[in-house]
């Protein structure tokens, strides 16, 4: 059974944290599904990942080499063709308990300045932990990422 990590963004956007999380996931030998709510957001993430320091190999789902992508950008409802061990969800995209259970890691990044996003993350926390999935809460309030208890 996997673990869910919730990242409460208060000082920086998801695009600043994603290269760090993706680099760690790839170093662990995991393939990653990066799920966003719409095509516009996927296109933006695609551009940002190419601009990130270092090389983060990735592709947008629907290409001929999806199964070979270390990081595959997907929309809700698209099956991840790259057999990910880690799922990163942005902008309120919901993750089901069975999905999270089947993965080594689920990362949910949410904008702490958006009350709707914060409420969605709280609902997601209750759903996943209620299903028995271990969860951690990470905050950047102090200026650096810290696990809160």
Tokens linked to 23: 């680099």
Q: Which residues of the chain have pLDDT under 50?
A: none
Are 78 and 87 contacting, i.e. CB atoms less than 8 angstroms apart? no
Residue 134, pLDDT score: 97
- DSSP summary character for residue 131: T
Residue 19, pLDDT score: 93
Domain of residue 46 covers 3-148
DSSP secondary structure, 15-69, as one string: HHHHHHHHHHHHHTT--EEEE-SSHHHHHHHHHHHHHSSS----EETTSTTGGG-
Rg, the chain, Cα only: 14
Whole-model pTM: value is 0.95
* Rounded distance between C-alpha atoms, residue 113 and residue 125, angstroms: 18
Residue 101, pLDDT score: 96
Residue 2, pLDDT score: 87
Question: Which CATH number fits the domain that encloses residue 20?
Answer: 3.40.50.10110
* Rounded distance between C-alpha atoms, residue 70 and residue 114, angstroms: 30
């Amino acid at each position: 059974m996997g673990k869910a990590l919730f990242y409460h963004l208060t000082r920086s956007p998801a695009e600043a944290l994603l290269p760090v999380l993706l680099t760690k996931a790839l170093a662990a030998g995991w393939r990653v599904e990066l799920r966003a709510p719409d095509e516009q957001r996927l296109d933006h993430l695609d551009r940002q990942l190419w601009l990130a320091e270092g090389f983060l190999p990735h592709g947008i789902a629907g290409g001929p080499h999806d199964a070979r992508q270390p990081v595959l950008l997907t929309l809700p409802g698209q099956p991840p063709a790259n057999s990910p061990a880690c799922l990163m969800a942005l902008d309120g995209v919901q993750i089901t308990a069975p999905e999270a259970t089947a993965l080594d890691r689920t990362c949910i990044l949410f904008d702490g300045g958006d009350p709707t996003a914060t409420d969605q993350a709280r609902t997601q926390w209750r759903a996943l932990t209620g299903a028995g999935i271990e969860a951690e809460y990470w905050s950047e309030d102090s200026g650096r990422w810290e696990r809160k208890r």
